[in-house]
């Protein structure tokens, strides 16, 4: 279908100019479509809110934005947020400790690795809401629920990536360190930890994404304070704009932590090597 044309210097520059123009246009076209996407998203929200549902069912976007600003200024956002984020952090820390313990078992024997792999696989396949509900009766209304559930859900991700990271360590580096008479501790600090750090971090990022959702869910079912409780309270008093405002504020902050802070740390630490990403168990 294409015909071969003779090429002269003039036609080449003409062609490349046209190509450049087309590339620039398509870049702008893409940006335009992104903007159009947001316009459509907000527009559909407005349309549904105005025409299909009542304001008690779905408030318009600007109402939610004003409400969020209100929540931020007037309604103890700081205290509730602190309670929630501290629980996520505590659960996460516990998950890290547990993962190191499990990692030792995994490194110790193949049989343990297979057994733990199976156990973790079971745990991952349990719908997260069941942990939230079960903590209601195991722990009652208590701050331990979100912490323990964060730990349970985050552990498989971190452990898998720890195992993955240890597997990926260049064996020749270990052999070399041994022949140069390095001690065990030196090898762990100098070789094992730096080489597996990245995949652990990648796993930690994935784990965090699951963990804060579980913590929120657990707070909704069983907690005396925190963002989750505020969302549930708003829901139970049919205050949709309050519910959306609390939820959106928390989600935006968590996504920022996930995508800016954790990703930046990962990028910074991975400058010296090709990046590794987290692996789902």
Partner 1 sequence: MGAPQDLGGFGPFDVRPTAEGATIRERLLRSPPFIGLLALALLLLIWQWIAWVNTRVPGIDEIVRFMVTEMSGGSHGGALTGEFWAPLATSMQRYAVGLAIGVPIGAALGLLIGAFRWARGLFNDTVLVLLALPAVVWAFLAALWFGLSAWGPILAVVLTVVPFMAVNLSAGVRNIEPGLIQMSRSFDVPFGRRFVHLLFGGSLPSGFTGLRLAFMTGWNSLLIVEWFGATSGVGWRARFWYDALRYPGFVGWIFLFVILITLLDRLLLSPLERRAFRWNQQPTLTFEEEL
Positions in 59-98 near partner 1 (CB under 8 A): none
55 binds partner 1 (CB under 8 A): no
Cα separation of 250 and 192, whole Å? Answer: 36
Nearest approach, Cβ of residue 71 and partner 1 (Å): 15
Tell me how many helices (H) and strands (E) the chain has.
Answer: 12, 0
280 binds partner 1 (CB under 8 A): yes
Q: List binders of partner 1 among 133-162 (CB under 8 A).
A: 133-134, 136-138, 140, 159-162
Nearest approach, Cβ of residue 130 and partner 1 (Å): 5
What is the contact mask toward partner 1 in residues 175 to 204, using x (rule: CB under 8 A)?
A: ------------------------------
From 3-11, 74-82, 141-149, 272-280, give the range in contact with partner 1 by CB under 8 A: 272-280
CA angle 256, 215, 281 (to 5 degrees): 80
Q: Is 278 left (phi over 0), alpha (psi -120 to 50) or beta?
A: beta
Cα separation of 238 and 248, whole Å? Answer: 17
43 binds partner 1 (CB under 8 A): no
163 binds partner 1 (CB under 8 A): yes
Alpha carbon 266 to chain centroid, angstroms = 13
Where do we find the tokens 């804060």?
212
216 binds partner 1 (CB under 8 A): yes
Question: How does DSSP assign 28-63, residue by residue?
Answer: HHHHHHHHHHHHHHHHHHHHIIIIIS-TTTS--HHH
254 in Cβ contact with 89 (< 8 Å): no
269 binds partner 1 (CB under 8 A): no
117 binds partner 1 (CB under 8 A): yes
264 binds partner 1 (CB under 8 A): no
Where do we find the tokens 């720890």?
162
Q: List binders of partner 1 among 2-41 (CB under 8 A).
A: 26, 29-34, 36-38, 40-41
From 64-72, 85-93, 216-224, 261-269, give the range in contact with partner 1 by CB under 8 A: 216-224
Q: Is 202 left (phi over 0), alpha (psi -120 to 50) or beta?
A: alpha
Nearest approach, Cβ of residue 69 and partner 1 (Å): 19
Q: Which is nearer to partner 1, 13 or 109 (CB)?
A: 109
CA distances from 22 to 9, 14, 18, 68 (A): 20, 12, 6, 43
From 5-13, 120-128, 142-150, 179-187, give the range in contact with partner 1 by CB under 8 A: 120-128
């Amino acid at each position: 279908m294409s015909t071969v044309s003779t090429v002269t210097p003039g036609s080449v520059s003409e062609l490349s100019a046209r190509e450049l123009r087309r590339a620039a246009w398509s870049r702008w076209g893409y940006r335009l479509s992104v903007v159009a996407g947001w316009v459509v998203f907000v527009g559909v929200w407005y349309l549904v809110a105005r025409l299909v549902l009542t304001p008690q069912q779905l408030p318009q976007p600007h109402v939610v934005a004003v409400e969020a600003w209100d929540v931020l200024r007037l309604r103890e956002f700081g205290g509730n947020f602190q309670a929630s984020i501290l629980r996520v952090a505590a659960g996460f820390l516990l998950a890290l400790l547990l993962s190191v313990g499990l990692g030792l078992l995994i490194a110790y024997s193949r049989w343990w690795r297979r057994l733990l792999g199976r156990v973790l696989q079971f745990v991952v396949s349990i719908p997260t809401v069941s942990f939230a509900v079960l903590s209601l009766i195991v722990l009652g209304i208590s701050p331990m629920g979100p912490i323990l559930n964060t730990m349970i859900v985050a552990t498989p991700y971190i452990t898998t990536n720890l195992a993955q990271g240890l597997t990926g360590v260049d064996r020749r580096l270990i052999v070399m360190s041994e022949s140069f008479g390095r001690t065990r501790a030196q090898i762990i600090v100098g070789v094992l930890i730096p080489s597996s750090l990245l995949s652990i971090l990648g796993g930690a990022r994935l784990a965090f994404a699951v963990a804060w959702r579980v913590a929120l869910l657990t707070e909704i079912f069983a907690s005396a304070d925190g963002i989750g409780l505020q969302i549930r309270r708003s829901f139970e008093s049919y205050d949709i704009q309050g519910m959306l405002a609390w939820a959106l504020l928390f989600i935006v902050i968590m996504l920022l932590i996930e995508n800016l802070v954790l990703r930046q740390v990962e990028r910074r630490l991975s400058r010296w090597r090709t990046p590794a990403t987290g692996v789902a168990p």
